[in-house]
Structure 1
Amino acid sequence: MIVEEETGFPKRLEGKLQALAVCWVLGFGSLVSWNSMLTIGDYYYSLFPGYHPSRVLTLVYQPFAVGSIAILAYYEARINTRKRNIFGYCLFCLSTFMLIVLDLATSGKGGIGPFIGICAIVGAFGVADAHVQGGIVGDLSFMCPEFIQSFLAGLAASGALTSALRLITKAAFEKSKDGLRKGTMLFLAISTFFEFMCILLYATIFPKLPIVKYFRAKAASEGSKTVSADLVAAGIRKAAAQGVEDDAKLPDRLSNKQLLLQNIDYALDLFLIYVLTLSIFPGFLYENTGKHQLGDWYALVLIAMYNIWDLIARYIPLIDCIKLESRKGLMIAILSRFLLIPAFYFAAKYGDQGWMIFLVSFLGLTNGYLTVCVMTAAPKGYKGPEQNALGNLLVVFLLGGIFAGVALDWLWLIGKKDGF
């Protein structure tokens, strides 16, 4: 199919499957480093037993992520998206590698010094997350909704695959001397490799796909300034020059405030989804579920079950008949999830591990399904620059919800012996 663009040159809309695959990998790389930190929590609990590592590291991560995405969303219209995303993936790659260096330099010993070093690296993860997640979602918002779905599925896949790898490495090294540490180092090395692959894919392959070039050229013709470097990298200079130098086109664009007011329910949807999820995952699962037959495998199994169902759920909205698109329906479903809070409390206090595994699976299922429904429904009916801005705003609320959820997660420690 040949499409004649407003920019004056025809482009063949090919490469959709390749673009979907790249979006999946980019989503995987956006969270694989952070999910690595979550899934090696058993190692950090052995090194820093009194520091609540899953809760503290998550709490350190979020201010950097939320602060950075707020600044980037405010200046989104003038930021070079290509440089923003490449910088984010490079920072992810370097920070993950630095976790290995820090562990080797300290010989895998605990103490306040190494813990502060890990906290600093986690802060860098937060900055990288804000660059990548907001930048990629904004970039994909003016393309096909399937691209966002694939990216979000990749985010969930990073959790599922890292959990699977963690279980494998724990089993492989369990009986060897210093096995927990060896498994962790192998795990971080694999994560660093995936981050490096994301840099190469985004920088060299993704911008040259015909369908990606088409949508970016279309966005440029509508006044977008953020895509010019990507178009130049793809060898399209005419479209890059058109529409991005002329400030006179920008007043026609809705402001961030107008976009937010028109989509405030979607923004609150994402905030509420992640407030609930992060108030339970991962801190509650590591510290508040008691001891059961699975022993030190219990928390890892719970994390894995959450991640697996979160991944499965992100493909469910591809079936049109069961995709929830009603704005009121989404809000009702999201508010109903808060019934999980008393459910988790009573399951931890009175239930066995089967009930807890069921609840964690349901938490992951609803988290993935509702996230994709909201993110694919929201950025419609706008021009390219507006869709990019709205994508960034939605990520602000998503990360804000994560931050609030992480803070509320500490409330589970009230009344718990040696909780603080």
Structure 2
Amino acid sequence: MAIRIPVTTRFEGRSYALIFCWLFGSGCSLAWNNMLTIASYYAYLFPLSRYHPSRIPTIIYQSFAIGALSVLVYKEASLNTRRRNLFGYGLFSLGSLAILVLDLATSGRGGIGSFIGVCIISAVFGLADAHVLGGMIGDLSLMAPEFVQSFLAGLAASGALTSGLRLVTKVAFKDSRNGLRKEAMLFFAISVIFELLCVILYAYVFPKLVIVKFYRAQAVAQGSKTVSADLVAGGIQELPTRQAEEEPIILDHRFSNKVLFLLNIDYGISLFLVYLLTFSIFPGVLSKDSGKHSLGDWYPLMLIAVFNVSDLVGRYVPLVKKLKMELGIGLMITSFARFLLVPAFYYTARYGNQGWMIFLTSVLGSSNGYLTVCILTVAPMGYSAPERNGLGNILVLCLSGGMFAGVMCDWLWFIGKGW
């Protein structure tokens, strides 16, 4: 028997769904943003000349993320999305707790043992990111573009909120070693609680929203095998059958992931280029090579905050339909054009003042957020639910590949500066 949800009620709970998607996005990046934010504390524990604490954990994080995501993309059509996302948020929570335990167990001392522990936890965060980011984007892609946009806005919001909290705690705790340690403990205590909240909301509240059940019932009717467990969690025990006359399907077969990638290669390349550029500059260049300024050690914190806030703003611009870019060729040209920021940052860091650096940082952040939302909300349109889920995972793999390549290119800024 097919499940029929009345037209008048099938979109009930849309506002709640958007809020939850925003919270899930924040939870997806909160733990790692905290790791980046407390870089000054790790600079105390692990001297830059020996450990490179802001770069090596990032490389480990991205390596495990892209490795795990490659496997998950290959298997995405048969994976249980509910179990995948809950496992990812659970790993984020356990990893945040492990940071607290590690610091307490070592009494805030540095050394190679502590650094190896930090690197292991970074790998755990990478695995969690691979499960959650691809799983959530794929899951929300088979629902509605505004859900994806809200999730992506949440990703940026966690960075903006973390930066704001960092500025507050810098005043409250000062930048002594003990003050930085208290700040790190506060950040990860918040992270543990927030990640557990995401687990509870995704497991028990989100699947029971009428609009979510409607989209997932549609997906199952179109052949999706990834959300059946979510429907059961939402209280639907009998899975729906296809209702061609009521729920028309655009494509009656499923393209393979290879074909989906080739059909959307312009979007994939654009997303790769966006994150290649962004992570070749952020956060390394903004933290260390920020040029002439008069703000002292507040300056890198301000630049990172400017990036995060402008990234968040950029993710809301596509909500204005006239400002949303949809053509793949236009997105690709814009993604290539952003590479003009490389020489701009290079010369500004050496000869420019803080005003120009802040301006360039805002351009970097806003363009990153804007292009991310445009690509990930436009590309899946026009496909059946299983294909949207698959394409969402493929595009996240392109995004992660760009991040990894950007992190590696970040080391090029060391040329001519010694180690």
User: TM (normalized to structure 1)?
Assistant: 0.94
Q: Contact 1:7–1:217 at 8 Å: present in 2 too?
A: no
Give the letter aligned to residue 226 of structure 2. T
Q: CA deviation at 1:251?
A: 9.6
User: Identity of aligned pairs, percent?
Assistant: 60
Task: Supply the AA of the counterpart residue of 1:380.
Answer: M
Return the alpha-carbon distance in structure 2 between the equivalents of residues 295 and 188 of structure 1: 26
Q: Secondary structure at the match of 1:238?
A: coil
Aligned to 1:35: 33
Out of 40, 45, 48, the position equivalent to 2:43 is: 45
Matching of residues 64-103 of structure 1 within 5 Å:
64-103=64-103
Report whether the alignment pairs 1:10 with 2:5. Answer: yes
Superposed, 1:151-300 pairs within 5 Å as 151-174=151-174, 178-239=178-239, 242=241, 252-290=253-291, 292-300=293-301
Deviation sequence 1:90-115 (CA, Å, 0-9, x none): 00000011111111111111111101
Aligned pair count reads 406
**Displacement of 1:356:** 1.1
Any idea what the Cα deviations from partners look like across 1:55-109, whole Å, max 9, x if unmatched? 1111110110001111001000111000000000000000011111111111111
CA deviation digits over 1:351-378, x for unaligned, max 9? 1122111111110010001110111110
Are the equivalent residues in 1 in contact too, given 2:252–2:384 (CA < 8 A)?
no
Query: Which moved further from structure 2: 32-41 or 352-361?
Result: 352-361
- What per-residue deviation string (whole Å, max 9, x for no partner) do you get for residues 216-239 of structure 1? 000001111101100110111222
Give the match's secondary structure for 1:294. Answer: coil
Hey, what's the Cα distance between the residues in 1 that align with 2:86 and 2:322?
37
Matched position secondary structure for 1:235: coil
**1:252 Cα offset (Å):** 2.6
Q: 1:10: how far off? A: 2.2
The 8 Å contact of residues 38 and 180 in structure 2, kept in 1 or not, is answered as: no
The SS at the match of 1:292 is: coil
Partners of 2:217 and 2:258 lie apart in 1 by: 26
SS state at 1:7 partner = coil
Q: Which moved further from structure 2: 286-295 or 89-98?
A: 286-295
Q: Deviation per CA, 1:182-223, whole angstroms, max 9, x where unpaired? A: 111111111211111111110111100000000000000111
The letter of the residue matching 1:155 is L
* Aligned partners of 1:58 and 1:406 also within 8 Å: yes
Aligned-partner Cα distance in 2 for 1:352–1:61: 33
Alignment correspondent of 1:333: 334
User: 1:8: how far off?
Assistant: 3.7
| CA displacement, residues 142-173 of structure 1 (integer Å, 9 cap, x when unaligned) | 11100000000000001000111111111111
State the AA in 2 paired with 1:266: Y
Offset from partner CA, 1:248-281 (integer Å, 9 cap, x none)? xx99311001111110100111100000000000
Deviation at 1:291, TM superposition (A): 6.4
Shift of 1:326: 1.8
Partner of 2:21: helix, strand, or coil? helix
CA distance in 1, matches of 2:350, 2:377: 38
> Is this contact kept in 1: 2:291–2:348, CA < 8 A?
no
The answer to whether the 8 Å contact 2:292/2:354 transfers is no
CA distance in 1, matches of 2:395, 2:204: 27
Structure 2: where are the runs of 5+ without partners?
243-250
CA contact (8 A) 1:7 1:218 kept: no
Per the alignment, residue 360 of structure 1 pairs with: 361
Q: Which amino acid aligns with 2:219?
A: A
> Which 5+ residue runs of structure 1 have no aligned equivalent?
1-5, 244-249
Q: Secondary structure at the match of 1:75?
A: helix
- In the TM superposition, structure 1's runs of 4+ consecutive aligned residues that sit over 4 Å from their partners are none
Residue type matched to 2:321 in 1?
A: D
Q: Structure 2: how far apart are the matches of 1:411 and 1:175?
A: 29
Tell me the SS of whatever aligns to 2:193: helix
1:122 partner letter:
S
Are 2:86 and 1:59 aligned?
Answer: no
Retained in 1: the 8 A contact 2:41–2:177?
Answer: no
3-state DSSP of counterpart to 2:96: helix
Q: 1:118 is aligned with what amino acid?
A: V
Q: Partner of 1:178: helix, strand, or coil?
A: helix
The answer to whether residue 306 in structure 2 is matched with residue 308 in structure 1 is: no
Partner Cα distance (1:134, 1:281) in 2: 22
Deviation at 1:7, TM superposition (A): 2.9
TM-score, reference length from structure 2: 0.94
2:107 is paired with a residue whose SS is: coil
Q: Determine the C-alpha separation between the residues in 2 that align with 1:274 and 1:198.
A: 26
Distance across 2 between alignment mates of 1:182 and 1:166: 12
In the alignment, the residues of structure 1 paired with residue 26 and residue 349 of structure 2 have an alpha-carbon distance, to the nearest angstrom, of 31
Q: Which segment drifts farther, 286-295 or 190-199?
A: 286-295
Q: Displacement of 1:380 after TM fit?
A: 0.8
Are 1:169 and 1:187, in contact at CA under 8 Å, matched by a contact in 2? Answer: no
